[in-house]
Amino acid sequence: MSTDDSILIATDEIDGIWPFLQSIDWRDPWLAVLLTFHIAITMTALMTRNHANFQIILFLVLLLLVYFSESINEVAATNWRVFSRQQYFDSKGLFISIVFSVPILINCMIMVASWLYQSSQLMTSLKRAQLRQQAKNRQLDGETNNSKMAVRQKND
């Protein structure tokens, strides 16, 4: 057994997400950068919820990052010594899925939920405006009919 093998965690030994997350050395600087990235993306998604064009671009970029996470995992697995103290990047992609893709997908779900909420609010205000306009039209039609009847009665 080499020294690199002693710090590896076999994926078949993992019995849950929480023990897996506890086995990670979170003091690794690149993990702090990754955590900062996720916090920044979440804050950006929340603060730009009223800027649809920016959010669409952000959403697509995040989905592209998730799509390419397998390739990112392969590159990180071959070059882990450059930026990490431990080899986290297994061939099945468990690590990158949990610490990279899942938070990104949660951010995407937050954006979609925000879009659905905004759409429902817009539809509600649109329907209220339609009902107000219909009531106004009925009131104007009623006044017009009343004035026509008054003119007829005067002529008779």
Q: What is the pLDDT of residue 13?
A: 62
> By the 8 A CB rule, do 111 and 55 touch?
yes
Q: What is the pLDDT of residue 2?
A: 45
Compute CA 86 distance to the chain's CA centroid, rounded to the nearest angstrom.
Answer: 30
pLDDT tens readout for residues 107-146: 999 999 999 999 999 999 999 999 999 999 888 887 777 7
Report d(CA 71, CA 68) in Å as an integer.
5
Which single residue is written with the structure tokens 């996720």? 38
Q: What is the pLDDT of residue 27?
A: 85
Q: What is the pLDDT of residue 21?
A: 78
Domain ranges of the chain: 27-155
Which residue numbers in the chain have pLDDT < 70? 1-14, 148, 150-151, 156
- Global model pTM greater than 0.85: no
Q: What is the pLDDT of residue 3?
A: 46
Task: List phi, psi (to 5°) of 8.
Answer: -85, 150
